[in-house]
Structure 1
Amino acid sequence: MTAHYDVTLVGSGLVGSSLAIALHDSGLKLALIEAAAPREHAQPREDERNLALARASTVALDSLGVWRHLAATASPIRRIHISRAGEFGSLRLDARRQGLDAFGAVIPARELGAALAQEMQQCTGIQRYQPAELLDAVAAADHVALRLRSGQDEQSITTRLLIGADGTPSRVRALAGIGTDDTDYGQTLVVCSLKPERDLAGLAYERFSDSGPLALLPLAERRAGLVLSLAHAEAAAVQAFDDTQFLAYAQQRFGWRAGRFSRVGRRSAHTIRRVVARSLVAPRCVLIGNAAQTIHPIGAQGFNLGLRDALNLAQSLIAQQRRGGDPGAVDLLQAYAQQRREDRDGVLAFSDGLVRLACHPSAALAPLRSLGLLLADGLPGLGDAIARRGMGFRGPPTAYALGARP
Structure 2
Amino acid sequence: MNSDLDVLIVGGGLVGASLAIALDGAGLAVALAEAVPPRVELQPSYDERNLALAQASVNALHALGVFDAATPLAPLRRIHVSRRGDFGAVRLDAAELGLRAFGAVLPARELGNALLRRLDGCRTLRRIAPAQAVALEPRDDAVEASLRDGESTRRVRARLLVGADGSESFVRSALGIGVQRHDYAQSAFVTTLTTERPLDGLAYERFTDAGPVALLPLGERRAGLVLSVPTADAARVGALDDDAFVALVHDRFGWRAGRFSRPGRRKPYPLARALAERTTAARSVLVGNAAQTVHPLGAQGFNLGLRDALTLAELLREAASSGADPGDAGLLARYVERRAGDRAATTAFSDDLVRLMGNDVLPLRVLRSLGFHALERSRTLKRGFALRGMGFRGDASALALQP
Q: Is the 8 A contact 1:194 1:264 kept in 2?
A: yes
Match of 1:113 in 2: 112
Match of 1:67 in 2: 67
Deviations 1:233-279 (A, max 9, x none): 21111111100000000000001111111111111211001011010
For the residue of structure 2 that corresponds to 1:348, the secondary structure is helix
> Residues of 2 paired with 1:89 and 1:70: CA distance?
39
For the residue of structure 2 that corresponds to 1:181, the secondary structure is strand
After superposition, the Cα gap between the structure-2 partners of 1:217 and 1:344, relative to the gap in structure 1 and judged at 3 Å, is same
Greater mean deviation of Cα atoms: 394-403 or 177-186: 394-403
Greater mean deviation of Cα atoms: 91-100 or 108-117: 91-100
Q: Is the aligned partner of 1:172 residue 2:163?
A: no
Match of 1:337 in 2: 336
> Residues of 2 paired with 1:40 and 1:312: CA distance?
26
TM-score, with structure 2 as normaliser: 0.97
Match of 2:217 in 1: 218
> Residues of 2 paired with 1:315 and 1:79: CA distance?
31
Match of 1:24 in 2: 24
Match of 2:47 in 1: 47
> Residues of 2 paired with 1:115 and 1:69: CA distance?
11
Match of 2:34 in 1: 34
Q: Is the 8 A contact 2:36 2:130 kept in 1?
A: yes
Match of 1:383 in 2: 382
Match of 1:280 in 2: 279
> Residues of 2 paired with 1:62 and 1:143: CA distance?
33
Deviations 1:13-53 (A, max 9, x none): 00000000000110000111110023256746982100000
Structure 2 counterparts to residues 306-345 of structure 1, below 5 A:
306-345=305-344
Match of 2:299 in 1: 300
Match of 1:9 in 2: 9
What is the one-letter code of the residue matched to 2:66?
Answer: V
> Residues of 1 paired with 2:40 and 2:278: CA distance?
34
What is the one-letter code of the residue matched to 2:197?
Answer: R
> Residues of 2 paired with 1:275 and 1:312: CA distance?
21
> Residues of 2 paired with 1:352 and 1:27: CA distance?
39
Match of 1:252 in 2: 251
In percent, how many aligned pairs have the same letter?
Answer: 53
> Residues of 1 paired with 2:265 and 2:40: CA distance?
21
Residue 69 of structure 1 deviates from its aligned partner by: 5.1
> Residues of 1 paired with 2:46 and 2:161: CA distance?
30
Q: Is the 8 A contact 1:42 1:110 kept in 2?
A: no
Q: Is the aligned partner of 1:94 residue 2:96?
A: no
After superposition, the Cα gap between the structure-2 partners of 1:14 and 1:237, relative to the gap in structure 1 and judged at 3 Å, is same
Greater mean deviation of Cα atoms: 158-167 or 35-44: 35-44
Match of 2:394 in 1: 395
For the residue of structure 2 that corresponds to 1:299, the secondary structure is coil
Paired residues, what number? 403
Match of 2:144 in 1: 145
What is the one-letter code of the residue matched to 2:233?
Answer: E
Q: Is the 8 A contact 1:65 1:119 kept in 2?
A: yes
Deviations 1:180-226 (A, max 9, x none): 00000000010111111111110000010111111000012311111
RMSD (Å), alpha carbons? 1.4
What is the one-letter code of the residue matched to 2:338?
Answer: Q
Residue 400 of structure 1 deviates from its aligned partner by: 0.5
After superposition, the Cα gap between the structure-2 partners of 1:30 and 1:55, relative to the gap in structure 1 and judged at 3 Å, is same
> Residues of 2 paired with 1:290 and 1:45: CA distance?
11
Match of 1:203 in 2: 202
Match of 2:155 in 1: 156
For the residue of structure 2 that corresponds to 1:183, the secondary structure is strand
Q: Is the 8 A contact 1:289 1:310 kept in 2?
A: yes
> Residues of 2 paired with 1:100 and 1:42: CA distance?
37
Q: List runs of 5+ in structure 1 lacking aligned partners.
A: none
Deviations 1:142-187 (A, max 9, x none): 1111112111111212100000000001011111111000000000
> Residues of 1 paired with 2:290 and 2:42: CA distance?
18
For the residue of structure 1 that corresponds to 2:85, the secondary structure is coil
Residue 132 of structure 1 deviates from its aligned partner by: 1.0
> Residues of 2 paired with 1:178 and 1:75: CA distance?
38
Q: List runs of 5+ in structure 2 lacking aligned partners.
A: none
For the residue of structure 1 that corresponds to 2:204, the secondary structure is strand
Residue 363 of structure 1 deviates from its aligned partner by: 2.5
After superposition, the Cα gap between the structure-2 partners of 1:42 and 1:229, relative to the gap in structure 1 and judged at 3 Å, is same
Q: Is the 8 A contact 2:40 2:46 kept in 1?
A: no
What is the one-letter code of the residue matched to 1:362?
Answer: V
Q: Is the 8 A contact 2:40 2:109 kept in 1?
A: no
> Residues of 1 paired with 2:169 and 2:43: CA distance?
18
For the residue of structure 1 that corresponds to 2:255, the secondary structure is coil
TM-score, with structure 1 as normaliser: 0.97
Q: Is the 8 A contact 2:217 2:223 kept in 1?
A: yes
For the residue of structure 2 that corresponds to 1:327, the secondary structure is coil
For the residue of structure 2 that corresponds to 1:221, the secondary structure is coil
Match of 1:131 in 2: 130
> Residues of 2 paired with 1:179 and 1:69: CA distance?
43
For the residue of structure 2 that corresponds to 1:135, the secondary structure is strand
Match of 2:183 in 1: 184
Match of 1:360 in 2: 359
